[in-house]
Structure 1
Amino acid sequence: MSGTAANLLFVCSRNRLRSPTAEAVLNSVDRVTAISAGTNNDAETPLSGDLILWADSIYVMETGHRKKITQKFGPLLKDKPVRNLAIPDNYTFMDPDLVAIIKSRFPEYFA
Structure 2
Amino acid sequence: MPKILFLCSKNKLRSPTAEAIFCEVEGWDVYSAGISNDAEVHVALEDIEWADYIFVMENAHKKKLSKKFGNAINGQPVISLGIPDDYEYMDQTLIDILKSKVPAYIG
Correspondence for 2:89 among 76, 84, 93:
93
Q: Which runs of 5+ in 1 are unaligned?
A: none
Q: 1:13 — aligned with what?
A: 9
Provide the rounded CA distance (Å) in 2 between the counterparts of 1:52 and 1:8: 10
The residue aligned with 1:23 is 19
CA-atom RMSD, angstroms? 1.2
Q: Which runs of 4+ in 1 moved over 3 A?
A: none
Identity of aligned residues (%): 48
TM-fit CA distance, 1:78:
2.4
| C-alpha distance in structure 1 between counterparts of 2:79 and 2:65, whole Å | 12
- The aligned residue for residue 29 of structure 2 is 33
Q: Which of 50, 53, 63 pairs up with 1:54?
A: 50
1:79 correspondence with 2:78: no
**Residue from 25, 37, 42 that aligns with 2:38:** 42
| Structure 2: segments with no counterpart, 5+ residues | none
For 1:50, give the aligned amino acid. E
* Paired positions, count: 105
Q: Verify: 1:68 aligned to 2:64, yes or no.
A: yes
